[in-house]
Amino acid sequence: MTDIKEILDRLGIKPVNNGISTGQINWAGKGAVIESFSPVDGQKIAEVAAAERSDYEQIIEKSTAAFKVWKLIPAPKRGEIVRQMGDELRKFKSELGTLVSYEMGKSLQEGLGEVQEMIDICDFAVGLSRQLYGLSMHSERPQHRMYEQWHPIGVVGIISAFNFPVAVWSWNAMLAWVCGDVCVWKPSEKTPLTALACQHIIETVLKNNEVPEGVSCILTGGRECGEWLANDPKIALVSATGSTPMGRSVGEAVARRLGRSLLELGGNNAIIVTPSADLNVAVPGIVFGAVGTAGQRCTSTRRIIVQEDIYEEVKKRLVKAYAQLCIGNPLETHNHVGPLIDKSAVKQYQETVRKVKEAGGTFIVMPEILSGEGYESGCYVAPCVAEVANSYAIVQHETFAPILYLIKYRDLDEAIEIQNDVPQGLSSAIFTLNMRESEQFLSQSGSDCGIANVNIGTSGAEIGGAFGGEKETGGGRESGSDAWKAYMRRQTNTINYGTALPLAQGIKFEIG
């Protein structure tokens, strides 16, 4: 395996007295120690100092000052700086992807893919920097021109989760930067080193362009750091990715001060498999969706809803496919599944298995906590599959683990009803070769999720489309399409170039 210390050194992170040194990069703090352990082998990678309140205040002061400069730089020039960020990420794709894999536990291919996603969003943002369009409208008043324009909103707080430790941050940051905002990033305390590595790369680019360092700041720490962002009126937008309870807390705090929040929360994603489905395509899509990132994606496939006539065939194929999975060190490319993030996640896996059994579920692929050589970290579990009813309380709940629920249906109306009958509404999919079935699934009477796919799985979204979901998923949209509008404020402008003052709606007001 690649020496992780060598990787850290290439990324500008140097161990110093059991802590770390990252040169001049702008990050806080001076508080309690956060230890970063790898779930791959259980080894401590490094220690990082968490932020204290005084660190936070300095960061916000620096960010606020930087915004006054950054917002005045023309958007295409901001885009050019983001282009350079993308080029730097290309240079360090291998190192950063390896660190993502080692610190978080996802497969090396997925770690490299996550860095590629960052590069892709940089490319998207560069083009966007010349397309921050407003509309022109015809005025009802003569010799008047009416249009709208978009302006930066200020300091954007980004709270990211451990499962995508760098990509989701980049979805927000790259768009916010070309929109003229500055960013304060609170990464997961479970993956601080990947965040520091990204910050080092970004700050190098900012420094080379003589841009104030406060354009990009990082805030290391736990829940309290997120609460500072949520409650601070100086933070124009808080973008939070994580669990529904976390998002509810952030949303309530931001709403109390009439701020903006962008919430990307839990998913309980289902795939419907119809009798016309090509099972040679469907089964790999199901399995990747269920076991990729060890089931720790918000878009991971949790439920498979299978028509009763093909139910036994699908079940047989799933059992055969799961038997072929290789579980182990994610840096070894032959392994399909790596570890869960930590032992707390393993306990959640165990508790969910217990509740499934108590509710009456039957496992057709058995759960197991793996031990022995190669599993010393205690974070490895076997992906499992259980036959259940959608009404089980535990099935309504999102568990971040590779546990797949198998559910039977009679007709498509019932299948869609089952799919929608959960509190979350992030991603969904149907495997069918029947055009009517696919169109019904995508219609207003079909999936109620923010993402609805046909003949692909629930995970693996591209950056070109807006990403997000409904209901308890939070309603936020990130990444592509017109998601950029969340990071700007709309202003409607009307200009009178005539010699009279006609009023709207024909109102007459005469004086003198």
**What long-range pairs does 407-410 form, CB within 8 A, spacing at least 24?**
407/303, 407/304, 407/305, 407/306, 408/305, 408/306, 408/307, 408/308, 408/311, 409/272, 409/305, 409/306, 409/307, 409/308, 410/307, 410/308
Question: How many beta carbons lie within 10 A of that of residue 465, not counting itself?
Answer: 14
- Of the listed 264, 398, 437, 478, which one is catalytic? 264
Pairwise CA distance, residues 230 & 56, whole Å: 13
Give me the torsion for CA of 448, 454, 460, 464, rounded to 10°: -80
Pairwise CA distance, residues 354 & 312, whole Å: 25
Look at residues 88, 56, 105 and name the one whose alpha carbon lies nearest to residue 381: 105
**What long-range pairs does 311-314 form, CB within 8 A, spacing at least 24?**
311/408, 313/279, 314/273, 314/279, 314/282, 314/283, 314/406
The residues, ordered by sequence, that sit 6+ positions from 504 with a Cβ below 8 Å of its Cβ are 140, 141
**Domain 4-265+474-490: CATH architecture, name and number where available:** 3-Layer(aba) Sandwich (3.40)
Residue 156 vs residues 43, 230, 265, 439, 456: alpha-carbon distances, Å:
34, 11, 18, 38, 34
Task: Write out the H or E segment, with its range, that includes residue 166.
Answer: none
* Domain residue limits, the chain: 4-265+474-490, 269-462
Determine whether 329 is exposed, middle or buried from the number of CB atoms within 10 Å of its CB (0-12, 13-18, 19+). buried
For residue 442, what are its two tokens? 């995508």
Pairwise CA distance, residues 114 & 215, whole Å: 23
Task: Write out the H or E segment, with its range, that includes residue 176.
Answer: helix 167-178
Look at residues 195, 130, 128 and name the one whose alpha carbon lies nearest to residue 159: 195
Q: What is the pLDDT of residue 15?
A: 59
Look at residues 318, 266, 305, 285 and name the one whose alpha carbon lies nearest to residue 458: 285
Q: Is 264 a catalytic residue?
A: yes
Widest pairwise Cα distance in the chain: 93
For residue 165, what are its two tokens? 């430790």
Please check whether residue 47 is in contact with residue 20, taking contact to mean a CB–CB distance below 8 angstroms: yes
Tokens 């979805």: give the residue. 171
For residue 452, what are its two tokens? 């609805």
Please check whether residue 486 is in contact with residue 132, taking contact to mean a CB–CB distance below 8 angstroms: no
- For the domain spanning 269-462, the CATH number is 3.40.309.10
Give me the torsion for CA of 472, 475, 479, 484, rounded to 10°: -160
Three-state SS sequence of 3-44: CHHHHHHHCCCEEECCEEECCCCCEECCCCEEEEECCCCCCE
Look at residues 190, 182, 253, 252 and name the one whose alpha carbon lies nearest to residue 218: 182
Which sign, positive or negative, has the C-alpha torsion 360, 365, 371, 376?
negative
Pairwise CA distance, residues 226 & 231, whole Å: 9
Alpha carbon 50 to chain centroid, angstroms: 23
Pairwise CA distance, residues 263 & 468, whole Å: 8
Pairwise CA distance, residues 220 & 55, whole Å: 10
Pairwise CA distance, residues 324 & 313, whole Å: 17
- In our burial notation (b when 16+ CB lie closer than 10 A, e otherwise), range 159-185 reads bbbbbbbbbbbbbbbbbbbbbbbbbbb
Domain 269-462 in the same topology as domain 4-265+474-490: no
Question: Per-residue confidence of the chain (512 residues) as pLDDT tens digits?
Answer: 458 888 988 998 875 554 555 544 456 667 888 889 999 999 999 888 899 999 999 999 999 999 999 999 999 999 999 999 999 999 999 999 999 999 999 999 999 999 999 999 999 999 999 999 999 999 999 999 999 999 999 999 999 999 999 999 999 999 999 999 999 999 999 999 999 999 999 999 999 999 998 999 999 999 999 999 999 999 999 999 999 999 999 999 999 999 999 999 999 999 999 999 999 999 999 999 999 999 999 999 999 999 999 999 999 999 999 999 999 999 999 999 999 999 999 999 999 999 999 999 999 999 999 999 999 999 999 999 999 999 999 999 999 999 999 999 999 999 999 999 999 999 999 999 999 999 999 999 999 999 999 999 999 889 999 999 999 999 999 999 999 999 999 999 999 999 999 999 999 998 87
Pairwise CA distance, residues 400 & 278, whole Å: 28
